Chains A and B, each alone.
Chain A
Amino acid sequence: MREPFPRISRQQFFFIFAIANICLTPFGFPTLLYKELEQHAWISPLAAYVLTIWNLLVAISLARQFPDQNIVEWSRQILGKWIGGLFSICVIVILYFWGVSMIWAFMLLIMFTQLAHTPIYFTSLLLIGGVVYLLMQGLEGFARFAELVFLFLIAGFIAINAVQFTNADFNRLLPVGGFPLDNLIKPDVIASLFVFRGIFIVYFLFKYLNDKKRLLPLSIYSLSIAFVEILLATVLPIAIYGAQAASKFIYPYQESLSSVSIEWLPFEKLTFLTPMLWQIVIVYVLGSSLFCATEGLSSLFNIKNKKRLLIIIGVVTWLIVMYQVSYMQLSQMIMVWSIAGLLIFTLIPTLLWAGLSIRRLLKS
C-alpha cells in the first residue's frame, strides 16, 4: 500500500516549532553576549525576536503563495533553474549545518558534564541513529514524538527555571540604560539575531500542514515560548552571578542552575537534568534539520527514495561530527554561519516577497 501523504496538525506544528526554536541556544549563546553587552545581554534575544516575527511574516506569506511546494520547489520557479538552485543549496546547507553545529555543541556539553572519555563516534551514533530512525517512521511519527515529549520538556523547563528564581537578584540587571552602542554592531552580537533559526522549517513543513489557517498567530505564540526560555537563559545567570562573573563561565545557564540544591530529593543536583532535557531538544532540532535537508535534496535532485537519502545524510552527519571541534572553533563557525543565515533567510526572502508583491500590484 502506498503511504498516504503525511499530514501534521497545527498542534503538532506548534510543538515542533517551539522546541526547534529553543534549540541549544540557552547554552553557548549567552556567554558571548555577556562579554560584549554585559547586563544588557537581554536586548539581543529581544531584537532577534522582533526580527524573527518579521521573518515569519515574510516566510508564511511566501509559503502561502505556493501551498503545495517547499522553498526549493518554488524558489526555482521564481528565480529560475540556476539561481533558484543555488539559493536552494544555500538554504539546505544552512539548515543542515544547523543540525551539525548543534550536535557539535551538544557533544561538547556531554563531554563536559557526563562522558569525558567515551569515543565521540559512539555517543553521536546513538543520537543520530535515534533521530534517523525516528524520521524513518515518517513525518507523522516525528510529529507524534514531538507532541508526546513536549509536555515533559515544558515541565522540565519550568522546573529548571523556577528553582533559579530563589537565588536570583534581578537588580543585577540594572542599569537598563546606557547601552554600549559600539558593541551592538560587533559580529557576535549581529550573529545572535539568528538565534530563532528554527522558524525556517516552516518553508519545508508548510505543505504538510493539514490546516493552514491562522498560521502566523500560532507561530508567534510558539516562538514566544522559545523567546521566554532564551530570555530567561540570558537573564538568570546575570541575576545570580552578575554579568561580570557570568561571563567567566562557558555554560553560564548550567552554572546558574547548579547554584540551587534541592535537599529533599535523592538527587541533590539538578544539573544532571539539563543535559537530559537538551538531549531531547536536540532530537527535535536534528530531526527538523535532517528532515529539511532530505526534503530539500530530494526535491532539488528529484530523488524518489527519501529513506535511502535520509540514511545517507545521517551517515554523512555522523562522519562530520566525528571531527572533534573545540569550543572556540565552534563559536567561530556558528558566527559565520549565523551571518550567512541572516543573509539567506532574512534578506533574500524579504526581497523576493517585495518583488512578488510589486509584481502582483503591477498586474492588477
Chain B
Amino acid sequence: MNIGEMGKIRNIWVDEMKGESFVSFFNKKNKKNNQNKANKSDSNANPVKPTIDLSEQTEKLPRSYEERLQLIEELIQTDDLKGIKLEEQGISCYFLTTIIDLKRFNDEIAPRLQEWVDFPEKWHILFPQAVLRDTTADTVTDLLEGHIVMNHRGLHGQAVTLSMLSIKSRAVEKPDNEKMILGPKESFTEDLETNIGLTRRWLKDPNMVFHYFQVGERSKTRVAVGFIRDITNPDWVHEIETNLKKINIDRIIGHKDVMDLIIGKTNTPFPLYELTELPARIVFDLSEGRIAILVDGSPFSAILPCPLLSMYIGSEYVMQGGIIPLFVRSIRVVAAFLALYAPAFYVALVSINSSIIPVETGVVLAADQLGIPYPTVIEALLLFIILDIFIEASTYVPGAIGPAMNIVGSLIIGQAASQAHLVSHVIIIVSAITAVGTYVTLYQLSMPIRIWKYPLIIAAAVLGLYGIIGCTVILIAHLCGLKSLGVPYLSPFAPLRWKDLLNGAIWDKDRSESKKRLSMFKAQDKVRQEGDPDA
C-alpha cells in the first residue's frame, strides 16, 4: 500500500466520522489521535505485548533434559514455582504450588514416580489423564493453568503434563443483589464452569451453546458467549464475537473491561448491558433471543441487547398471574420517576412556580421555610449531596457499620438539621422519598437516576417547571439516541410495539396467551408456544 492509498483511506474514514453521533462529534479529535496511534502501532510493534509472549514460543522443547529444566526455570521466575528434581533417577516435576492440589499430588503422583523411572513410555498407564507436550508454549501454558509438568530424561524433547488445578472457589450461595422471594435461590460464583453448569441445569437444549474466547494478552481471561442458536439473531452473535476477537488488551478484570470493549465508546451514565447474578434470569433472557456474556472471575453474567425497560423485569416474574408483576413493575417505574423528579419538582414549586400550589399547602411550605438561611436550591443541593454520601457509605462501608451509617445519616443528622432550621422538614421528606425510590429500581439503573437528579434540580431552581421539561427533553433525547446492539434503548416504547408491551415487556398477560417472543429482540424462532399465535 503506498502513501497515496493511505491518504484515501484516511479521507474516507473522516467522511464516515461526520455521520456519527453528537458524542463522537465532539470527541472526533481524540478519536483521530487514537486512530493515528493505531496506524503507527500497526507498522511498528504490537503495544500490548509481554516480554515473554507464549505465542512466539513455537519451537519444540529441547531434547536435552537439563536444557528443558533450565528453560522452564528461565521462563517462569516466580517463587511459587516448585521443582522436585530427582537427579539420580532423571525425573523432575514442576508446578505452581498456589494453584494445584498438593494432597492429590502426594497421593496420586509421588508414589508412581518410582515406577515411571524405568519405563518412561508407560506414562499414559501410570497417569491416565496426562498429556504429552512437545512445544514450549503448550508446556508453559499448562503449567500456568494448574498442570504438573513432568520431565523424564528418557523422553527426548517432550514433557508430560497433568492437570491438578485447585483454586479455592466460593460455594454457590444465595444471591446478594437480586433478591428472589418466590424463586430459585442460587447465584453465580467466580468460576466460569460452575456458572455455565448452573445455567445448563435450567435449559437442556442442545442449541444452547457457549463459545469460549481468551481475552487479555497477559491475563488470558476466559470469556464465554452464550446464546441459543436457533433463537438468537446471528448478526448480533457475529458482531459480539468479532468485537471480542478484535480486543487487544493486556488484562481483563470482570465485566466492565470486556463489555466496554465490546460496546465501544459511549458517554452515558445509563447501563448499556444488564448484569445479573441469577442463572434463572439468564435462561429467561436467552430464551427471548438475547446473548449472555460470562467472564471467568466475575460472579455475574452480562446480557445484551439491553433496552431500558427490560431492566425493570425483576424477580417478580415468578409471581402468580400477570397482574401482580404488572403492579410490581409499575411501582418500580413510579419509584424511579419519583427519585428523579421529586427533588426537582419540590424546588420548582417552592422557588419559582409557587403560584400553582393551593394556599393551604403554600402556607405550610412557607412556614416550614421560614428562618432557613439560604435559598431552597442551595438547601436541596446540600441535602442531596449529603444523601448521596450516605448512600455510598451504607453501600460500601464494611460490615455492620454500613447500616449504622444510614441511621446516623437519616435519623440523627436529618432531625438535628431540621431542628436547627438548617433544612426544612419537607425537604427531608422529599429526600427520603428520593432515597427509597432510588433503591426500588434496579441497582444498575439507580446510578444514572442519582446523577440526573442534579441537572434537574439546577434547571428547576433556575427555570422552574419550564426548566424541568427542558431538561427532560434533553434526557429523553439522550435516551432516544442510545442503542444497545442496534436495539433502540427505549424500545418497545420508542419505536412503539404494542404487542411487545402487552406480551411481556410490561404486562405479562398470561403464559397461555403469550405465544410469541418479544419482537424487539429479532428472534429467529418467533414462537414461544405451540398454537397459532394470531388465532
Contact flag (A, B; Cβ within 8 A):
yes
Q: What string of 1s and 0s marks CB contacts (under 8 Å) between A239-275 and chain B?
A: 0000000000000000000000000001111001001
- Contacting residue for A136 out of B21, B463, B494, CB 8 A: B21
Cα of A147 to Cα of B357 in the assembled complex, Å: 31
CB distance from A16 to the nearest CB of B (A): 12
B320 within 8 A of A: no
Q: List 14 A-B contacts (CB under 8 A).
A: A11-B496, A12-B495, A114-B353, A133-B22, A134-B473, A136-B22, A145-B476, A145-B494, A147-B494, A266-B357, A267-B356, A275-B466, A304-B15, A307-B18
Q: Is A149 in contact with chain B by the CB < 8 A criterion?
A: yes
Whether B466 lies near A114 (C-beta < 8 A) is yes
Question: B357 contacts which of A12, A138, A267, A279 (Cβ < 8 Å)?
Answer: A267
Q: How many A-B residue pairs have CB under 8 A?
A: 118
- The verdict on A215 contacting chain B, using a C-beta distance below 8 Å, is no
Nearest opposing residue in chain A for B459, CB measure:
A126
* Contact flags A1-33 to B (C-beta < 8 A → 1, else 0): 111000001011000000000000000000000
Chain A 131-162 near chain B by CB (<8 Å), digits 1 or 0: 10110111011111101110000000000000
Contacts of A134 in B (CB 8 A): 473-474, 477, 480
Check B469–A276 contact: CB distance below 8 A: yes
Whether A115 pairs with B464 at a CB distance below 8 angstroms is yes
- The minimal Cβ–Cβ distance linking B300 to chain A, given in whole angstroms, is 28
Task: Please name all residues of chain B whose beta carbon is closer than 8 Å to the beta carbon of A130 when the two chains form the complex.
Answer: 470, 473-474, 477
Determine whether B286 belongs to the interface, using a CB cutoff of 8 Å to chain A.
no
Given contact pairs A269-B355, A307-B25, A275 touches B476 in the complex (Cβ within 8 A): no
Please measure, in the bound complex, the distance between the C-alpha atom of A136 and the C-alpha atom of B352, giving whole angstroms: 31
The residues in B between 456 and 505 inclusive whose CB is less than 8 angstroms from any CB of A are 459, 462-467, 469-471, 473-474, 476-478, 480-481, 488, 490, 493-496
Tell which of A3, A141, A280 has the most Cβ of chain B within 10 Å. Answer: A141
Minimum C-beta distance from A133 to chain B (A): 5
B interface, over-half SS: helix
A123 proximal to B (CB < 8 A): yes
Is A57 in contact with chain B by the CB < 8 A criterion? Answer: no
Within 8 Å CB of A138, what residues of B? Answer: 21, 481
Q: Which residues of A does B touch, CB under 8 Å? A: 1-3, 9, 11-12, 110, 114-115, 118, 122-123, 126-127, 129-131, 133-134, 136-138, 140-145, 147-149, 266-269, 272, 275-276, 279-280, 283, 304-307
- B19, CB-defined interface residue at 8 Å: yes
Q: Residues of B at under 8 Å CB distance from A?
A: 15-16, 18-22, 25, 352-353, 355-358, 361, 459, 462-467, 469-471, 473-474, 476-478, 480-481, 488, 490, 493-496
Q: Which residues of B contact A131 (CB under 8 A)?
A: 473
Question: In the bound complex, how far is the Cα of B476 from the Cα of A115, in angstroms?
Answer: 23
B352: which of A2, A114, A266 is its contact (CB, 8 Å)? A114
Contact A266-B470, Cβ < 8 Å, known A114-B464, A134-B480, A137-B22: no
A2 touching B19, Cβ below 8 Å = yes
Q: Which residues of B contact A136 (CB under 8 A)?
A: 21-22, 25, 481
For residue A125, which residue of chain B has the nearest CB? B470
Contacts of A122 in B (CB 8 A): 462-463
Given A127-B470, A138-B21, A148-B494, A268:B358 Cβ within 8 A: yes
Complex partner residue of A145 from B459, B463, B471, B477, CB under 8 angstroms? B477
Pairs of residues from A and B, 4 with the lowest C-beta to C-beta distance, nearest first:
A137-B481, A134-B477, A144-B494, A136-B22
User: In the complex, what distance in Å separates the CA atom of A127 from the CA atom of B466?
Assistant: 9
Distance A304 CA – B471 CA, assembled complex (angstroms)? 30
Of the residues A110, A115, A268, A304, contact of B18 by C-beta under 8 Å: A304
Q: Once the chains are docked, how many angstroms separate the CA of A110 from the CA of B466? A: 8
Given A133-B474, A133-B477, A144-B488: A272 in contact with B356 (beta carbons within 8 A): yes
- In the assembled complex, how far is the CB of residue B459 from the closest CB belonging to chain A, in whole angstroms? 7
In the bound assembly, the distance between CA atoms of A229 and B474 in angstroms comes to 26
**Min distance, Cβ B93 to any Cβ of chain A, angstroms:** 52
In the complex, chain A residues whose CB is within 8 Å of the CB of B476: 145, 148-149
Measured in the bound complex, the distance between the Cα atoms of B495 and A143 in whole Å is: 8
* Chain B residues whose CB sits within 8 angstroms of the CB of A266 once the complex forms: 357-358, 361
Chain A, residue nearest B493 (CB)? A148
Chain B residue numbers with a CB within 8 Å of A140 are 488
Which residues of the other chain, B, contact A147 by a CB distance below 8 angstroms? Answer: 493-496
**Which chain A positions have C-beta within 8 A of B471?**
126
Contact: B463 with A126, CB < 8 Å?
Answer: yes
A272 vs B349: C-alpha distance in the bound complex, in angstroms?
Answer: 11
Q: Apart from A129-B474, A144-B494, A149-B476, what 6 extra A-B contacts exist at CB < 8 Å? A: A12-B495, A114-B465, A144-B490, A147-B496, A148-B480, A307-B22
Nearest Cβ in chain A — how far from B309, in angstroms? 12
Q: Which of B20, B21, B466 has the most CB of A within 10 A?
A: B466
